[in-house]
Structure 1
Amino acid sequence: MEVMLNLPPLHLHIQQEASLSAVRLRTLNIWSNITGALHTTCLEKVYEFPVLRAGTDRIHKQAIFDKRYKIQLYEDDNYEGLNPRELRIFTDGSKTDSGSGSGTFSEDLNMSITTPLGSHSSVFQAECMGIINAAAAITARKVVGFSIRILSDSRAVLMALKSHIVTSKLIHECHERLMEVCQNNKITLQWIKGHSGSRGNDAADELARQGSGAGAIGPEPALPIPFSKVRSMLLARTGKLHTEHWLNQTGCRQAKQAMPSINGVTDSPLCRGCMEKEETASHVVLECSGVAPYRAKHLGSPRDLPEVLLNIKALAETARVQPALKTIQAVNDQRILCVSI
């Protein structure tokens, strides 16, 4: 039954959760490394993945209430309009099989920045780095006394910046950079729909894609490891140990012939695409970083499920030929989109 349902044996599940807790405690500098203590062995097993020695993006909860920048989570038709006192900067992030990268573009500041971020960074981090680079460029160019609009198609990053509780090192750095440029400028971060024909957004997207295909400059990881990646690596390790445990057991000869490997259902509520949030329809269609390339290609950057449903026929046709989205069913009277990945 464990094999059919992909439920790891209790001892493997405990090892997995202990290892995850050890990484979290070690990252927050509250890990007690007592020589000879049995509990320290779980962290040693984690370091079978050398990349995890570099540390993760997790920090202690930081409460921030003094934000001087404005965040606008809706489109403004005049964002590319003529306003001599407003400067516009477009940012974007990209992740492909080759790696990840961020792009920052501004005609007003003659800015065209592409940043390779390597294979370990998430698309969320790439989007965040685009904003960090925009703030750094404002400081480097000594821009003073302007109204500056930074446009990003990542609602996830903007919502993380809008939250008063921060647990990400990169988001905290982004906040500090923005607060620095707010001392001499008026800063607005605005959501923009991706792939909507905006020249600035398309240019930032192209720069981000160039960065994702260029490979990181210097040693990796270029950024702190996302905690979601830690979890996915430990889950993969548990799956491997579960398979070994199953094959090394005595008996169950016919069952092993029928199921030589473990690939069943899972009871985890976490999204299988990003391992960051609960796998709901709205998360998969609007936020999940794991399917971000498919969402950008086929949906752009929809702001909500009703907007997706406006073009449900084209989306359903795409689903028949797109392996990443196997089943899409619209229930129009309740306006619910059920997605199975």
Structure 2
Amino acid sequence: MRTTPTAALEALLDLTPLPFYIQQIATLTALRLRTLNLWRKCNTPHTSVLDTLIAEVPITDAKQDLIPKQFIFDKKYKIQLQEHGPTNQGNHKELKIYTDGSKTDQGTGVGVFSEDLNIKIYKPLGTHNSIFQAECMGIIEAAQAIAVRKAAGENIRILTDSMAVLQALNNITVNSGLIYECHLKLNAVGTSNNIILQWIKGHSGSRGNDAADELARRGSDSRAIGPEPIVPLPASYLRSQVATRSHAQHCTSWDKIDTCRQSKEALPRINRRVTRRLLQLNKAQLRTVVAAITGHGNFNKHLFNTGITDSPLCRACMGDEETASHVILHCPAVQEYRVKHLGSPRTLPEITDNIKGLLGFFGELGWLE
């Protein structure tokens, strides 16, 4: 109904309130401008947005992966985005290097394996980086290993199961510092070797790919040495940190709000599990559940308050005011339906946790249609 409190809807559906969302977008914009050296601190209140973020989330002050757009035309390596069988050019053997990245709850890691060049590398990257960055670092480590071995005049095929990294390297524009570094490393070894980067399907039974995958997992399970982040922070991590901060602000605001009495009783804390269930409902079902939880529906007490009916009494028992909580928890006239669909609930949070039963209960009563 039009009277339903916006704050209650935001809490139920986990929608960031507009003031917090505006701050979130402004903060992300300030981070981007600072990374690109376009941010100018001045004596106006809104420029304190970065100082506030860094004070609350210190990791956001670390170096970021974003760089000004670079154009790349001089690629001394080739990229194959489809699987091909091994090929040899003339009588010169093709050397193969397999790379992989891994991300677990412990962190991210990279693995590089090659029987032809005697390479067996695993490296932990810390906890803040993405799987995309791990896959990219695998190719960088492979290029560095080629350079250390001073390979020259060789046909070298680097195989990775990351289509995203290969597509990024295949573009002529780059705004990722890590991708740009990868391009420079490949160009350096590509001046004296024939370098081909090829996509390979992951977990396809390839011995080399499986070995690289095992090394990458060993890297992700190992503790990173040195201060983090080891690799510049990806934009996705920063976005998640700022979004998490906005969610925390929303939760604090909901905890302190002194209105939405029934909604607060039914949903004492913002619960994303409840939100996921609500978003799986169709429009009619969602309307019923929101009306029941907030009390803003076709209940006589609410209709009386808005001037639609002339009595707030319960139409079933006529013994008390007809509120959502009275109908759901106490009304003796609908006890049979309550037991059938809801069991014997004692509190509104129990009802919020039983959305299917709530729909069945009001569906049989037909009051909120």
Residues 88, 94 of structure 2: 8 Å contact kept: no
Residues 80 and 19 (structure 1 numbering): CA distance in 2 closer, same or farther, change over 3 Å? farther
Instruction: Map 1:34-183 onto structure 2 (within 5 A).
Output: 34=42, 36-47=43-54, 48-78=56-86, 84-183=92-191
The amino acid across from 1:165 in the alignment is T
Match of 2:198, SS state, is strand
Residues 216 and 202 (structure 1 numbering): CA distance in 2 closer, same or farther, change over 3 Å? same
Give 1:83 deviation, angstroms. Answer: 6.8
Give 1:254 deviation, angstroms. Answer: 1.3
Give 1:142 deviation, angstroms. Answer: 0.6
Residues 87, 94 of structure 2: 8 Å contact kept: no
Task: Find the aligned partners of 2:24 and 2:137 in 1 and give their Cα distance.
Answer: 31
Give yes or no for the alignment of 1:227 onto 2:235. yes
**Matched residues, number:** 265
Task: Find the aligned partners of 1:158 and 1:215 in 2 and give their Cα distance.
Answer: 28
Task: Find the aligned partners of 1:152 and 1:115 in 2 and give their Cα distance.
Answer: 16
Give yes or no for the alignment of 1:253 onto 2:261. yes
Structure 1 length as normaliser, TM-score? 0.75
Q: Which protein has the larger Cα radius of gyration, Structure 1 or Structure 2?
A: 2
Residues 197 and 84 (structure 1 numbering): CA distance in 2 closer, same or farther, change over 3 Å? farther
Task: Find the aligned partners of 2:151 and 2:84 in 1 and give their Cα distance.
Answer: 24
Match of 1:20, SS state, is helix
Deviations 1:34-83 (A, max 9, x none): 2x321221101221211111121111111212212111011113369997
- More divergent stretch after superposition (6-15 vs 167-176): 6-15
Task: Find the aligned partners of 1:250 and 1:258 in 2 and give their Cα distance.
Answer: 14
Task: Find the aligned partners of 2:91 and 2:35 in 1 and give their Cα distance.
Answer: 45
Aligned residues: CA RMSD = 1.9
Residues 199 and 138 (structure 1 numbering): CA distance in 2 closer, same or farther, change over 3 Å? same
- By percentage of residues, which structure has more strand? 1
Among the aligned pairs, what percent are the same residue? 55
Give 1:261 deviation, angstroms. Answer: 2.6
The amino acid across from 1:27 in the alignment is T
Within the candidate set 2, 14, 24, 2:32 is matched to: 24
> Runs of 5+ in structure 2 lacking a partner?
1-8, 277-369
1:302: which partner in 2? none
Task: Find the aligned partners of 2:185 and 2:216 in 1 and give their Cα distance.
Answer: 20
Task: Find the aligned partners of 1:151 and 1:83 in 2 and give their Cα distance.
Answer: 21
Give 1:148 deviation, angstroms. Answer: 0.6
Task: Find the aligned partners of 2:191 and 2:165 in 1 and give their Cα distance.
Answer: 22
Task: Find the aligned partners of 1:82 and 1:19 in 2 and give their Cα distance.
Answer: 56
Residues 80 and 200 (structure 1 numbering): CA distance in 2 closer, same or farther, change over 3 Å? farther
Residues 119 and 143 (structure 1 numbering): CA distance in 2 closer, same or farther, change over 3 Å? same
Task: Find the aligned partners of 2:48 and 2:244 in 1 and give their Cα distance.
Answer: 19
The amino acid across from 1:147 in the alignment is N
> Runs of 5+ in structure 1 lacking a partner?
266-341
Task: Find the aligned partners of 1:123 and 1:132 in 2 and give their Cα distance.
Answer: 14
The amino acid across from 1:77 in the alignment is G
Task: Find the aligned partners of 1:81 and 1:51 in 2 and give their Cα distance.
Answer: 48
Give yes or no for the alignment of 1:7 onto 2:15. yes
Task: Find the aligned partners of 1:84 and 1:254 in 2 and give their Cα distance.
Answer: 77
Residues 83 and 57 (structure 1 numbering): CA distance in 2 closer, same or farther, change over 3 Å? farther
Task: Find the aligned partners of 2:87 and 2:159 in 1 and give their Cα distance.
Answer: 9
Deviations 1:208-241 (A, max 9, x none): 0110001111111100001100001111111111
Task: Find the aligned partners of 2:251 and 2:85 in 1 and give their Cα distance.
Answer: 54
Task: Find the aligned partners of 1:225 and 1:80 in 2 and give their Cα distance.
Answer: 39
